[in-house]
Structure 1
C-alpha cells in the first residue's frame, strides 16, 4: 500500500509550493524538510453505516447511521447503540476479542438493540461478512442488522526537520571524496637531485621514493635520466 499526502506551503497568505510527499520523498522549502512519518484513521471519531432488514420481508430495508456511544432510534420502537468498535477483529487463543492492527482489515461493531424496554439483540456485526454475526439474542428475532460501511477521517503525521549544517556536511563529503581520489590515482612521489662540480666535471646524483605505484616512478625516473644524458 502506497500512502501519499499533498502538502501546500502558504507564506504571507500566498501559496509558495505544493507537492505530493510519501516515505523517503519529502518536501523541501527554505532549508526545511517535511517528511511523512505516519498515517492512520481517527477511530475515536467515526460513523457506522448500518442497515436493518427483516427476514419475513426481504424488501424491507432501513439505513441507519450509528455513532459509538450514542443511542439511535429506528422504526418499530427500536433503539440501537454501538458500545465497542475494533478496526481489525480477531479472537485470541485465550478467547479475548481484540484488534490485530489499526487498519480496517476486518472492522466490527458490538451493538445492543432494544425494542421498547425489551433486550432484542446483543452481538458483533461485521462489515466484510454481512451474513456472519456473533450474537446473543434473547429469542429468535425477525430483524437482521448489517454493518455496511465504516467512515473515519484519515490523517497523516508530518515531521519537520531543519539542519543548518547540511551544506557543510555535503562540502566535507566532496572534499573527502576528492582526497580519496587523489590518494588512489595521484600517489605522492619524490625525486631528489644533487649536482656537483669537481674541476669542471659535473656529476648529477638522482634518487626517488614512492609510497605506491613504484612502476610509474621507475618509468618517470628512467625518462628523466634519458633526458639529462641527452642534454648538451
Structure 2
C-alpha cells in the first residue's frame, strides 16, 4: 500500500495505523554509474528509507466518518531489509514513487555556443511565459505523458508526468515575429526516445529561414532534475502461524532426541506345540539386547549362550 508523507493510514485487517513521517532517498551519482546509464538518463536509487510511526486504534475504530483515537506503539526507520516489527506485525519497505516536480534547463545557441540563461520549468502550475536573456519563451502546449496521435498530432496519454514534454514559441532578436517553435522533453530518456532534435530540426525547416539560430534547451546535469519522494510503498505481513511453527519445531526436536539417544526395544514370545519361539528388535546396541535376552532365558532355567543368539535368527 502507498503511504503519503505526513498521513497516518489504516493497515487493512488490523487495528493499526502507519504514518510516513519522512521519506528520503539517495541516488547514485554520475561518477558511480556506467556511461550508458548516464546517456539514457537513468536515475538509480542507492538507498531509500521511511521514518515510520505505528499507531494502534484504541477508540472510535472502523468508522471512516469519525477520526479514530490512536495510540503510538512503535517507531522505526524502515529500509529495504530492515522492517518495522511489532507483536507479529512486520512492515517492509517495498518501493517508492518519485514524482517529477521541476527541471532547470538552459537555453543556448548551438551555432555560437552562447548560453542565454537557466529557467525553472515546473510540471504542475507551469508559467505560460519565461524570460531567458534576450528571448521570451511562450508556453503553447504541455503533454505530461507525451504521445503522438494517429493523425500526427501531439497529445498526452494521461495526467501523470511519465513523459513530460513542453512546446514553446521562442521570440526575440533576429527571429520572425510569430516566433520559433521548439519542443522540449524534460527527461533525457524521453528526448532520445522521441527524437527531440529531429522534431525541432523539422520545425525549424518549416520556417524556411536559414538565418534563424539553432536553439537548444537542455540540462547541464541531473542535479537540475527535481523530484519529490512523498509516497512510500510498504508490504505488511502478520505472522499469526508463528506459535504453531514453534510447537511443530518442538515436537520434531523431541522426536529427533528420542530417535538418536533413546533405545527402542521389543521382544516377542510365542509357544507353538511346546516349542518356544522368541524374537527381539532394537534400533541400536544389538549386543546389549542379545545379552539381556540370554539373561531373561536363564532366569526361567533355559540356558542359552548369548553369542549363539545372532541376527540370523537362531532359536531357543
Q: How would you bin the TM-score normalised by the shorter chain?
A: 0.5 to 0.7
The residue that corresponds to 2:237 in the other structure is 161
What is the root-mean-square deviation in Å for CA atoms of aligned residues?
4.6
Single out whichever of 65-74 and 54-63 deviates more from structure 2: 54-63
SS, match of residue 123 in structure 2: coil
- Name the CA shift for 1:162/1:193 in 2 (closer, same or farther; >3 Å): same
Deviation at 1:222? 1.0
SS, match of residue 4 in structure 1: strand
Deviation string, structure 1 residues 105-163 (Cα, Å, up to 9, x no partner) = xx774433343872412334453789x72412244542321134322212420133324
The residue that corresponds to 1:6 in the other structure is 50
* Bigger fraction of residues in helix: 2
1:27-106 aligned at under 5 Å gives the runs 27-43=84-100, 46-55=101-110, 58-68=113-123, 70=126, 71-75=128-132, 76-80=135-139, 83-85=142-144
For the pair 1:145 / 2:237, whether they are aligned, the reply is no
The residue that corresponds to 2:63 in the other structure is none
The residue that corresponds to 2:181 in the other structure is 121
- Name the CA shift for 1:217/1:17 in 2 (closer, same or farther; >3 Å): same
CA contact (8 A) 1:66 1:72 kept: no
Deviation at 1:17? 3.6
Single out whichever of 63-72 and 76-85 deviates more from structure 2: 76-85
Deviation at 1:6? 3.5
CA contact (8 A) 2:169 2:179 kept: yes
Distance 2:103 2:178 in 1: 23
- Which sections of structure 2, spanning at least 5 residues, go unmatched? 1-44, 56-69, 271-275, 300-316
Distance 1:175 1:13 in 2: 36
The residue that corresponds to 1:199 in the other structure is none
CA contact (8 A) 1:7 1:20 kept: yes
Distance 2:280 2:170 in 1: 102
- Which sections of structure 1, spanning at least 5 residues, go unmatched? 195-203
CA contact (8 A) 1:49 1:64 kept: yes
The residue that corresponds to 2:58 in the other structure is none
SS, match of residue 119 in structure 2: strand
CA contact (8 A) 2:170 2:180 kept: yes
Distance 2:78 2:130 in 1: 43
- Matched positions, count: 205
